[in-house]
């Protein structure tokens, strides 16, 4: 029973953590129709920025905002490559995320005071025991840690952060700038006719998407307690699968905001992985399970679309 409880704990916590990544994809993929591979790099960048700053004693909430800015900057780089240099979306993401492998590593090594002499020296950032992380700082530290087998402190904090970023995105999409972004994805020519540069709008959208991905990376670091240079791998699948599961299951519900659907999608996706673990599937199978789930989500969402068209 306690194994079940603790897996529910982990599922929810991971769900909220990746929900922010999936919301980023909501902006870049759903709104802008841009398959953005940059997140493999920016999730890690956000984690590196957060890890180094928190380790240096910077307020973790501030570090979370900085990680957003880091993702925002690298995301706009992808946008720049696409709109100004005319490079295809997939290639832009590959280029930037490849470059970020080095950038992240160098920043980590320099930040940890290591040298480049021994390759891979100090390529991980350990948050350590005494470091003031999000949970050890006001206001999260006021919450009780252990309630009936749940780590309530971590769960509530992650939930609150996910909801905060959801509300921010909802609010942004209702502003003039946000509506213009939605118009860009829907009909870029319309934006041109509004005398606005649609290229700038695209850059902005990718910047926001990657800002969210970086925040997600920061939370991963908060949750795991360390930065691992490999932690960006697989983020495209996690983000997109969560997004597509959420939108295809709950997207049609009228009163529910798409961002809410995306959070639920992320939790469900983590739930499926958690159930596999509970059933005793070795973690080596994790990535193939992810790929299969993603395939099911894609097939499911297109089947649902067809069904809707038939009914219409």
Partner 1 sequence: MLELENISLTFNKGTPDESVLFDNFNLKIEEGEFVSVIGSNGSGKTTMLNLICGSLVPDSGRIVFDGKDLTKMSEYRRAERIGRVFQDPKMGTCANLTILENMALADNKNKIFGLTRAVNSKRIEYYRTLLEECEMGLENRMNTLVGSLSGGQRQALALVIANMTDLDMLILDEHTAALDPKSSETVMHLTDKFVHKSKITSLMVTHNLRFAIEYGTRLIMMHEGKCIVDIRGDEKKNACVDDLLNIFNKISIEVGNKV
Judged by beta carbon, residue 136 or residue 182, the one nearer partner 1 is 182
Q: CA 140 to CA 122: how far, in whole Å?
A: 30
Is residue 18 within 8 Å of 210, Cβ to Cβ?
no
Residue 117 three-state SS: coil
CB of 35 to partner 1, least distance (A): 18
For the bound state, the minimum distance from the C-beta of residue 171 to partner 1, rounded and expressed in Å, comes to: 9
- Least Å distance, CB 49 to partner 1, is 25
Rank residues 191 and 290 by Cβ distance to partner 1 and give the closer one: 191
Q: Least CB distance from residue 185 to partner 1, whole Å?
A: 7
Q: Smallest distance, Å, CB 30 to partner 1?
A: 10
Q: Are 210 and 78 in contact (CB under 8 A)?
A: yes
- Structural contact between residues 294 and 237, judged by C-beta atoms closer than 8 angstroms: yes
CB 217 within 8 A of CB 46: yes
- DSSP single-letter state for residue 146: E
Q: Which is nearer to partner 1, 52 or 191 (CB)?
A: 191
CB of 70 to partner 1, least distance (A): 22
- Burial class of residue 12 (count of CB atoms within 10 Å of its CB; 0-12, 13-18, 19+): buried
Residues of this chain that bind partner 1 (CB under 8 A)? 172, 174-180, 182-183, 185-187, 189-198
Is the Cβ of residue 110 or residue 193 nearer to partner 1 in the bound state?
A: 193
* Residue 185 vs 274, nearer CB to partner 1: 185
DSSP SS3 for 217:
helix
Contacts of 121 (CB under 8 A, 6+ apart): 109, 114, 115
| 141 vs 214: CA distance, rounded Å | 23
Nearer to partner 1, 129 or 176 (CB): 176
């Amino acid at each position: 029973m306690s194994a079940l409880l603790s897996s529910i704990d982990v599922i929810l916590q991971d769900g909220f953590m990746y929900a922010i990544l999936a919301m980023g994809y909501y902006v870049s993929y759903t709104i802008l129709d841009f398959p953005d591979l940059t997140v493999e790099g920016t999730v890690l960048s956000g984690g590196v920025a957060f890890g180094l700053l928190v380790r240096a004693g910077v307020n973790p909430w501030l570090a979370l905002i900085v990680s957003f800015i880091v993702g925002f900057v690298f995301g706009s780089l992808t946008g720049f490559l696409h709109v100004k240099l005319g490079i295809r979306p997939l290639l832009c993401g590959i280029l930037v995320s490849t470059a970020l492998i080095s950038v992240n590593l160098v920043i980590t090594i320099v930040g940890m005071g290591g040298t480049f002499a021994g390759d891979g020296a100090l390529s991980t950032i350990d948050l350590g025991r005494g470091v003031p992380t999000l949970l050890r700082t006001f206001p999260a530290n006021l919450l009780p840690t252990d309630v009936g087998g749940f780590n309530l402190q971590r769960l509530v904090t992650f939930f609150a952060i996910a909801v905060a970023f959801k509300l921010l995105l909802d609010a942004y999409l209702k502003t003039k700038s946000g509506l213009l972004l939605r118009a860009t994805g829907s009909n870029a020519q319309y934006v041109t006719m509004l005398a606005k540069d649609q290229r700038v709008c695209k850059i902005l959208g990718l910047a926001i998407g990657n800002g969210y991905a970086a925040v997600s990376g920061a939370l991963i670091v908060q949750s795991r307690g360390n930065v691992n240079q490999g932690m960006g791998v697989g983020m495209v699948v996690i983000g997109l699968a969560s997004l597509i599961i959420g939108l295809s299951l709950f997207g049609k519900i009228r009163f529910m905001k798409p961002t809410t659907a995306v959070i639920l999608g992320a939790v469900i996706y983590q739930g499926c992985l958690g159930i596999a673990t509970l059933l005793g599937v070795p973690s080596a199978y994790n990535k193939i399970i992810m790929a299969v789930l993603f395939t099911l989500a894609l097939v499911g969402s297109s089947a649902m679309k067809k069904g809707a068209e038939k009914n219409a």
